[in-house]
Amino acid sequence: MTTPAIPQSARNAMHGANKLTIGLFGANCSSGRAVTLVPERWSGDMQDCLELVDMADQGGIDFMLPIGRWKGYGGDTDYQGSTYETITWACGLLGASRRITVFGTVHAPLFNPIVAAKMMMTADHIGKGRFGLNIVCGWNEDEFDMFGVTQRDHERRYEYAQEWWDAVQLAWSDKQNADYAGSHINLKGVRAKPKPYGGSRPVMMNAGASTNGRNFAIRNCDAFFTRADRDSLDESKSRVAGVKQQARALGRELDVYTVGVVTCRPTKKEADDYYRHTVIENADWNAVDGILKKKNISIESVGEQEFWRHRKHYANGMGGYPLVGTPDQIADELADLSAAGLRGIAISFVNYLDELPYFLQEVIPRLQKKGLRT
């Protein structure tokens, strides 16, 4: 099985010419990233995902990023209760598209590294080099209990992730029958063929929020996802610059991305009304409260003001950057994020299939005029 050699930089849409890269986040889960009761909320069904990847691929969207979610959050909708496993989901979407990068979001502690290396290589061949990996260590104890796996403390968690990623890369390397001896992972005679498409490895990202998580990204990743601060672009700018600088000190280039939740309508009033309707008046507050509980966010733990701020944020795309307004306003805000040094953004909608066409038709051309998209 041989494939033509391609360098990592040429293998997927995420490395394309767009100054601001745009992806879709969370479409593999029911309700996507909107914790809402509204009937048009995202189904997450495979047929809808396939229709969406086709629309996104043809519309020039750069990537699709799924969520590695194993158990719903309950509430009235069992928020994200219906989900596709992400590597197999990526296989389906890659087979149905031509250009777009499709990620798998892989919990390192739950997947044997050699099995994962083989699965991801297979996805990468289906997509001819368009598979991407989002490594997650997990944070939801409830999910780990379901697997009978004990979550490690923060430091150990990322130490394990490092060994896992080293083991995956060993399987993807040209070494034959190599042993791997770590503190957590011990493998004998590792041999795996074929290699990822074109002999280079898939693009790799991580979204750790802790110092250990960030340092993992700085050491290993091509892309790092972090929170953008709506109240202070300067704060976001210095956070992005800091991470990039730390990577450069290790001789690495790291692109920094963020997550956004889009409500785009012809008038500001229409956008505000729909936002209020979906994520305030019709939020699935029981699910939001379940999420807050899992994250140990309560009035006692963070204080009253912070608690209510978090509660609102989690209803709206689990804390993603809210982009609510007209096409002009959304394009301006995206341009501001780009000026803050962000390489891209993974966005979500209440219903991706209903709302993406307007975004493609109205926002993308405005970004092109600003020189942010080709």
Can residue 225 be called a binding residue for ligand FMN (CB under 6 A)?
yes
Part in contact with ligand FMN (CB under 6 A); list of ranges 50-58, 77-85, 206-214, 270-278: 206-214
User: Considering beta carbons, is residue 135 or 170 the nearer one to ligand FMN?
Assistant: 135
Q: Which residue is nearest to ligand FMN (CB)?
A: 213
User: Considering beta carbons, is residue 115 or 209 the nearer one to ligand FMN?
Assistant: 209
The bridge status of strand 186-190 relative to strand 203-206 is: unpaired
Q: Which x/- pattern, by CB under 6 A, does the window 329-358 give for ligand FMN? A: -----------------x------------
DSSP bridge pairs for 316: 34
Alpha helices, DSSP H only, in 75-153? 86-95, 113-126, 141-147
Can residue 103 be called a binding residue for ligand FMN (CB under 6 A)?
no
CA distances (Å), origin 264, targets 271, 316, 343, 352, 359: 6, 14, 21, 12, 7
Can residue 207 be called a binding residue for ligand FMN (CB under 6 A)?
yes
Which phi and psi (to 5°) does residue 23 adopt?
-130, 170
Q: Report the site for ligand FMN in 127-156 (rule: CB under 6 A).
A: 136-140
Can residue 67 be called a binding residue for ligand FMN (CB under 6 A)?
yes
Q: How far is the CB of 319 from ligand FMN (least distance, A)?
A: 8
CA distance 109 to 92: 24
CA distance 363 to 329: 9
Answer for the pair 66, 88: CB distance below 8 angstroms, yes or no. Answer: no
Residue pointed to by tokens 């990526």: 90
Element (H, E) at 311: helix 304-315
Residue 248, Cβ neighbours under 10 Å: how many?
12
Can residue 208 be called a binding residue for ligand FMN (CB under 6 A)?
yes
DSSP bridge pairs for 71: none
Part in contact with ligand FMN (CB under 6 A); list of ranges 53-61, 203-211, 285-293, 331-339: 203-211
User: Considering beta carbons, is residue 200 or 236 the nearer one to ligand FMN?
Assistant: 236
Part in contact with ligand FMN (CB under 6 A); list of ranges 36-44, 205-213, 287-295, 330-338: 205-213
List the Cα angle 60/62/63 in 5-degree steps: 135
Q: How far is the CB of 53 from ligand FMN (least distance, A)?
A: 18
User: Considering beta carbons, is residue 229 or 270 the nearer one to ligand FMN?
Assistant: 229
User: Considering beta carbons, is residue 128 or 294 the nearer one to ligand FMN?
Assistant: 294
> ω before 194 within 30° of 0 (cis)?
yes
Per the rule left: phi > 0, alpha: psi between -120 and 50, beta: everything else, 303 is: left
User: Considering beta carbons, is residue 210 or 282 the nearer one to ligand FMN?
Assistant: 210
Can residue 105 be called a binding residue for ligand FMN (CB under 6 A)?
yes
Give 253-303 as a DSSP string. --EEEEEEEEEE-SSHHHHHHHHHIIIIITB-HHHHHHHHHHTT--HHHH-
Part in contact with ligand FMN (CB under 6 A); list of ranges 8-16, 210-218, 271-279, 284-292: 210-218
Part in contact with ligand FMN (CB under 6 A); list of ranges 77-85, 209-217, 236-244, 357-365: 209-217
Computed on alpha carbons and rounded to an integer, the radius of gyration of the chain in Å comes to 20
Catalog residues that contact ligand FMN under the rule CB under 6 A: 67-68, 105, 136-140, 207-210, 212-213, 225, 259, 346
